[in-house]
Chain A
Amino acid sequence: MSNITLTIDGQTIEVPKGITILEAAKKINVKIPTLCHHEDLCVAGNCRVCVVEVKGKHRLEASCAVPAEQGMEILTNSAKVRIARQDIVSLLVSEHNTQCTTCYRNTNCELQDLAAEYNVDGNRFLSVLKPNIKIDKSSWSIEKDDSKCIRCQRCVRTCAELQHVNALTASHKGHEMKISTFMDLPFNEVVCTNCGQCVNRCPTGALTERRYFDQVWEAIGDPTKHVVMNTAPSVRVALGEMLGYEVGTRVTGKMVTAMRKLGVDSVLDTDFSADLTIIEEGNELLTRLKKVLVDGDKSVKLPMITSCSPGWVKFIEHMFPNHLGHLSTCKSPQQMFGALTKTYYAEQKGIDPKDIVSVAIMPCAAKKYEANRPEMNASGYRDIDAGLTTREFGLMIKQAGLDFKNLPDSDFDSIMGQSTGAGVIFGATGGVMEAALRTAYAVVTGRSVPFENLNITAVRGTEGVRSASIKVEGCLPEWKFLEGAVLNVAVAHGLKNARVIMDEIAAGKSTYHFIEVMGCPGGCIGGGGQPIPTNAEIRAKRTKAIYEEDMSKPIRMSHENPEITKIYEEFLGKPLGHKSHELLHTHYQKRHRH
């Protein structure tokens, strides 16, 4: 595409034709403030904070929405622009609940930042905040407080464009315009996957995760309780962002120490149950393949699809209720962990499971919902008592007054604290697939996957749907039926892309055997519970850190995890065995689409 030349604040630049004024300004490090703009989303142009002056035009232009044109002379910081921006921020403040000190997003709020930057006088305009706005706390995962909403519609666009769920929409007009659920029903009654992507993109405190850290503090303070905390793979590559580190810094060792310092009784790793998931899910896949290919069993569904992502699970339950047979029956690593904490762990440690409080630190909002699903009590207790986001966890560390940067590194406790690189990469899109292939290939052939350093780069990346084919050769005798077979696999992330995969399946056109689906763009590293902001650049850095963590691990295939071997010997018996079925597998339910 051809280039054009324009002037921004007196500086002449050449940019590709078609980019916006905002993007052009960014190229020369001219910062234009934005609110409704988010690079993951389509242009809205509705907050008007990014207005700039274009020479020859009386009206200002929204730089996020207007393409740069040849010969444009743009001023981003004229008196006219500054006054307009100050007015606009003042207007937003005038319809906003300004109890910032008690807001969960205090100090991490885009409106607050702009109000400070433009030194907005809170009394300049009258308050037009609607009285008696009730906070919707009906959902296990997400809280909605309209008094803090600036109507930027980032959440609406997120839900529609990235997730194809449409749980949120703009409703009413004029002064009554608001962001609403379907018929303004409580959040827990509408089709919502709880993915929390809206929360992650909300510039203010209007959408937040439902917080459970007070309950965790209470349990920690209760001497009769034994608190077990486990952290998901992607938390260790994002937590640092909340504690003064550069994006993409791995803080695993300090994180473990911090948990101990919080007063937690046992610091364990969800990566362990990620490894366990691979064993169970890998065996389930091989069993399904055998039933279909050898036994001709028509009741068994292929492709099999992963079930680690609770946002995705609820999505398929709502949107494709007649295709639940494709989902792996494996619980997610979080729920496997919970079920084992209150059985195996309790047994081994000699603790009464009723006294155990299991806490999961997750990059996710949907994990809160998952922990509260009624069927998640296989241990005889609530398998997971509290699911916290990376953000809540970061806040707990701050509340505890820990000097995080100067904490020494330490290792997870045992048992259920040891993991492999395969467990770690669950945190990035394609990771479950890669981990599963590493193990399944080894089980079937007795050899490692034929990729350098075990890195199956074909399933990595950022493309929404990726696929690969692997020819299985040199099978061990018991897997001879797979000799020469070509295994077709696919990876999808973001529910928009999950829908692409599912539409193919529903149309009977899917040629895959195994599919990994993650509800959030980028997988868990881009989860709804991760530090704010999250964008493409940040996702890429967190992903890089995940793969570095993988390479740093001495063991990189799940089936070689000694604690996994041990748990099968001591407790579970064999993969897909009786105990596994009881504790590690689950069922799904059909839900309505509206």
Chain B
Amino acid sequence: MSTKQVNRADIIFSPYSVAPYEILRLSMQKTKPEVIEEITESGLRGRGGAGFLTGLKWKFFANTDGDEKYIICNADEGEPGTFKDRKLLVEVPRKVISGMAIAAYACNATKGVIYLRAEYNNLIPALKKELDIFDEHAKKFGLKFKIEIFSGAGAYVCGEETALIESMEGQRGEPRNKPPFPIQNGYLGKPTLVNNVETFATASMVCRYGASTYKTYGTSDQRGSKLFSISGDSPKEGVFELELGMKISDFVEEFGDGDTKAVQVGGVAGFCIPRKQFETAIVGEGNTTGGATMIFNSTRSMYNVLHNYLDFFAEESCGQCTPCRVGTQQLLKGIEAVKSGTKPVEYLDDLIKLSKTMQITSKCGLGQSVTNSFTSIVQNFKEEMIY
């Protein structure tokens, strides 16, 4: 397992190239399979958190026939602790739009939507201005691709791509059964590609610098660089672009306050890494990350941290499927009961088992991932759960 030091990278926020949408223009001079091959070769994975290979997703999408194909940019940035997509949309929206347009060119899509969480509605005027510039250039390049902005309604679960699509269709934001996947049957029943804001921005940068350059960043397991939203007990909160493959210990040394006892990697859906694992754990490996990284120092009660997470899950579950709707409530009530002494300590083991059942039976990633933070906190900070 190779590792990297904490290295700042400057790819995603690098200044725009000379002419607007120059990367798009140059990409359109390549053949469509060449563009997809470039993305595949770069090893880029989805930056929303699930980490699916972007090139593969684009390839599937390109191979799906349809008279109308949609590309949706998932800007429903709702994972607690993440705020990188907002920064991208504020500072380099052109890169995001370029990524969408390159995907549209490569995969023959004609319609695009930016699904913007309602809290980001203040970005709409600036985004619209940028879209006007894009329209002008798309016309000039002969690309038929129109992007619209859709404002979400504030549910965490709508970051899940099928729930997002349901909500765009005016339905309750509830995940769909898969298969069929959106690639085959998505928005309005049409083939739909959903990617995260950062994924599109990064894809455009892969096209700018080339896969071979991009690949030099990161390790064989995790290619490239990525944005990290850093919050919590850190003197350097904010969004940082870092080369992938860091050890947690290096990361903590760089961003911690000297008293770090745990790092939550990948938002509340991710894992909580305790101090004793700092040396062995690598950011993003086995703890796939959308880049939300929360740092806790020794003044923090991990019971309170977990309670906060579970409160969030119990409220943000769509409520549709049993393991997630009731399971999240049971975990929340369960740790309260152990804390207050109405349930024995061993009940924590029952709850961990329950969270494993939630992982293998829940309909979508929300219920499936609760066990990550639950198990890692309960197992590593058991005494804090009890006393």
A residues 95-138 in Cβ contact with B at 8 Å: 95, 124-126, 128
Nearest chain-B residue to A80 (Cβ)?
B360
Q: How many residues of A are in contact with the other chain, CB < 8 A? A: 37
Which of A22-30, A56-64, A408-416, A504-512 lies at the interface with chain B? A56-64
User: Chain A's nearest CB lies how many Å from the CB of B352?
Assistant: 12
Instruction: Indicate if B28 sits at the interface (CB-CB under 8 A).
Output: no
Q: Is the CB of B322 within 8 A of A47?
A: yes
User: Chain B's nearest CB lies how many Å from the CB of A342?
Assistant: 49
Q: Is the CB of A46 within 8 A of B314?
A: no
Which of B82-90, B187-195, B209-217, B324-332 lies at the interface with chain A? B324-332
Q: Is the CB of A173 within 8 A of B319?
A: yes
The residue in B173, B329, B337, B368 that gathers the most chain A C-beta atoms within 10 A of its C-beta is B329
Which residues on A sit within 8 Å (CB–CB) of B323? 48, 87-88, 91
Q: Is the CB of A51 within 8 A of B333?
A: no
User: Chain B's nearest CB lies how many Å from the CB of A23?
Assistant: 15
User: Chain B's nearest CB lies how many Å from the CB of A389?
Assistant: 30
Which residues on A sit within 8 Å (CB–CB) of B325? 95, 151, 174-175, 177
The complex places the Cα of A67 from the Cα of B184 at a distance, in Å, of: 15
User: Chain B's nearest CB lies how many Å from the CB of A115?
Assistant: 13
Q: Is the CB of A174 within 8 A of B360?
A: no
A residues 65-91 in Cβ contact with B at 8 Å: 65-67, 80, 83-84, 87-88, 91
User: Chain A's nearest CB lies how many Å from the CB of B269?
Assistant: 15
B residues 349-371 in Cβ contact with A at 8 Å: 350, 353-354, 357, 359-363, 368
Q: Is the CB of B314 within 8 A of A84?
A: no
Which residues on B sit within 8 Å (CB–CB) of A49? 322
Instruction: Give the A-B contact count at a CB cut-off of 8 A.
Output: 114
The complex places the Cα of A173 from the Cα of B173 at a distance, in Å, of: 9
Q: Is the CB of A128 within 8 A of B177?
A: no
Instruction: Indicate if A356 sits at the interface (CB-CB under 8 A).
Output: no
Which residues on A sit within 8 Å (CB–CB) of B328? 174-175
User: Chain A's nearest CB lies how many Å from the CB of B83?
Assistant: 23
Q: Mark B368-385, 1 if CB is under 8 A from A, else 0.
A: 100000000000000000
Which residues on B sit within 8 Å (CB–CB) of A172? 319
Nearest chain-B residue to A125 (Cβ)?
B330
Q: Is the CB of A177 within 8 A of B318?
A: yes
Which residues on A sit within 8 Å (CB–CB) of B314? 174-175
Q: Is the CB of B357 within 8 A of A83?
A: yes
User: Chain A's nearest CB lies how many Å from the CB of B64?
Assistant: 17
Given A43-B177, A170-B172, are A177 and B326 also a contact pair (CB < 8 Å)?
A: no
Q: Is the CB of B360 within 8 A of A58?
A: yes
User: Chain B's nearest CB lies how many Å from the CB of A161?
Assistant: 14
Q: Is the CB of A46 within 8 A of B330?
A: no
Q: Is the CB of A48 within 8 A of B363?
A: yes
Nearest chain-A residue to B334 (Cβ)?
A126
Given A60-B360, A92-B326, A174-B314, are A48 and B319 also a contact pair (CB < 8 Å)?
A: no
The complex places the Cα of A189 from the Cα of B174 at a distance, in Å, of: 28
The residue in A67, A83, A125 that gathers the most chain B C-beta atoms within 10 A of its C-beta is A125
Q: Is the CB of A175 within 8 A of B319?
A: yes
Nearest chain-B residue to A83 (Cβ)?
B357
B residues 172-187 in Cβ contact with A at 8 Å: 172-174, 177, 179
Instruction: Indicate if A537 sits at the interface (CB-CB under 8 A).
Output: no
Q: Is the CB of B322 within 8 A of A46?
A: yes
| CB < 8 Å neighbour of A128 from B174, B329, B353, B360 | B329
Which residues on A sit within 8 Å (CB–CB) of B321? 45-48
Instruction: Indicate if B315 sits at the interface (CB-CB under 8 A).
Output: yes
Which residues on A sit within 8 Å (CB–CB) of B329? 95, 128, 175
Q: Is the CB of B363 within 8 A of A62?
A: yes
Instruction: Indicate if B316 sits at the interface (CB-CB under 8 A).
Output: yes
Q: Is the CB of B361 within 8 A of A48?
A: yes
Given A60-B360, A60-B361, are A173 and B326 also a contact pair (CB < 8 Å)?
A: no
Nearest chain-A residue to B336 (Cβ)?
A126
Instruction: Indicate if A372 sits at the interface (CB-CB under 8 A).
Output: no
Q: Is the CB of A87 within 8 A of B357?
A: yes
Q: Mark B98-132, 1 if CB is under 8 A from A, else 0.
A: 00000000000000000000000000000000000
User: Chain A's nearest CB lies how many Å from the CB of B362?
Assistant: 7
A residues 308-331 in Cβ contact with B at 8 Å: none
| CB < 8 Å neighbour of B330 from A51, A94, A151, A173 | A94
Q: Is the CB of B315 within 8 A of A173?
A: yes
The complex places the Cα of A170 from the Cα of B173 at a distance, in Å, of: 11
Instruction: Indicate if A403 sits at the interface (CB-CB under 8 A).
Output: no
Q: Mark A252-296, 1 if CB is under 8 A from B, else 0.
A: 000000000000000000000000000000000000000000000
User: Chain A's nearest CB lies how many Å from the CB of B91?
Assistant: 33
Given A45-B177, A175-B319, A177-B319, are A126 and B360 also a contact pair (CB < 8 Å)?
A: no
| CB < 8 Å neighbour of A48 from B157, B172, B362 | B362
Nearest chain-B residue to A171 (Cβ)?
B172
Which residues on B sit within 8 Å (CB–CB) of A88? 322-323, 357, 361
Q: Is the CB of A128 within 8 A of B333?
A: yes
Which residues on B sit within 8 Å (CB–CB) of A43? 177
Q: Mark A146-184, 1 if CB is under 8 A from B, else 0.
A: 000011010000000000000000101111110000000
Instruction: Indicate if B155 sits at the interface (CB-CB under 8 A).
Output: yes
| CB < 8 Å neighbour of A174 from B318, B322, B354, B361 | B318
A residues 172-213 in Cβ contact with B at 8 Å: 172-177
Q: Is the CB of A59 within 8 A of B333?
A: no
The complex places the Cα of A128 from the Cα of B327 at a distance, in Å, of: 10
The complex places the Cα of A95 from the Cα of B363 at a distance, in Å, of: 19
Q: Is the CB of A91 within 8 A of B322?
A: yes
Q: Is the CB of B330 within 8 A of A128?
A: yes
The residue in A128, A153, A174 that gathers the most chain B C-beta atoms within 10 A of its C-beta is A174
The complex places the Cα of A58 from the Cα of B359 at a distance, in Å, of: 9
Instruction: Indicate if B63 sits at the interface (CB-CB under 8 A).
Output: no
Nearest chain-B residue to A95 (Cβ)?
B326
Which residues on B sit within 8 Å (CB–CB) of A47? 321-322
Q: Is the CB of B315 within 8 A of A46?
A: no
The complex places the Cα of A583 from the Cα of B229 at a distance, in Å, of: 76
Which residues on B sit within 8 Å (CB–CB) of A51? 360-361
Instruction: Indicate if B220 sits at the interface (CB-CB under 8 A).
Output: no
The complex places the Cα of A88 from the Cα of B330 at a distance, in Å, of: 12
The complex places the Cα of A88 from the Cα of B363 at a distance, in Å, of: 13
The complex places the Cα of A69 from the Cα of B94 at a distance, in Å, of: 42
Q: Is the CB of A94 within 8 A of B363?
A: no
Which residues on B sit within 8 Å (CB–CB) of A91? 322-323, 326-327, 330, 354
Q: Is the CB of A174 within 8 A of B319?
A: yes
Q: Is the CB of A59 within 8 A of B359?
A: yes
Given A48-B361, A173-B157, are A126 and B319 also a contact pair (CB < 8 Å)?
A: no
Q: Is the CB of B360 within 8 A of A84?
A: yes
The complex places the Cα of A143 from the Cα of B173 at a distance, in Å, of: 28
Which residues on B sit within 8 Å (CB–CB) of A87? 323, 353-354, 357, 361
| CB < 8 Å neighbour of A124 from B174, B318, B327, B350 | B350
Which residues on B sit within 8 Å (CB–CB) of A80? 360
Q: Is the CB of B360 within 8 A of A170?
A: no
Which residues on B sit within 8 Å (CB–CB) of A84? 357, 360-361
| CB < 8 Å neighbour of A126 from B172, B330, B361 | B330
User: Chain A's nearest CB lies how many Å from the CB of B347?
Assistant: 9
Q: Is the CB of B319 within 8 A of A65?
A: no
16 interchain pairs, CB-CB under 8 A? A43-B177, A48-B363, A51-B361, A62-B177, A66-B179, A67-B179, A84-B361, A87-B353, A91-B323, A91-B327, A94-B330, A125-B334, A126-B333, A126-B337, A170-B172, A177-B325
Contact residues of B with A, CB < 8 Å? 155, 157, 172-174, 177, 179, 313-323, 325-330, 333-334, 337, 343, 350, 353-354, 357, 359-363, 368
Beyond known contacts A46-B322, A87-B323, A94-B326: 11 more, CB 8 A cutoff? A45-B321, A46-B363, A48-B323, A58-B360, A91-B327, A124-B350, A126-B343, A172-B319, A173-B317, A174-B313, A175-B325
Q: What 3 pairs across the A-B complex have the smallest Cβ distances?
A: A177-B319, A91-B326, A65-B177
Contact residues of A with B, CB < 8 Å? 43, 45-49, 51, 58-60, 62, 65-67, 80, 83-84, 87-88, 91-92, 94-95, 124-126, 128, 150-151, 153, 170, 172-177
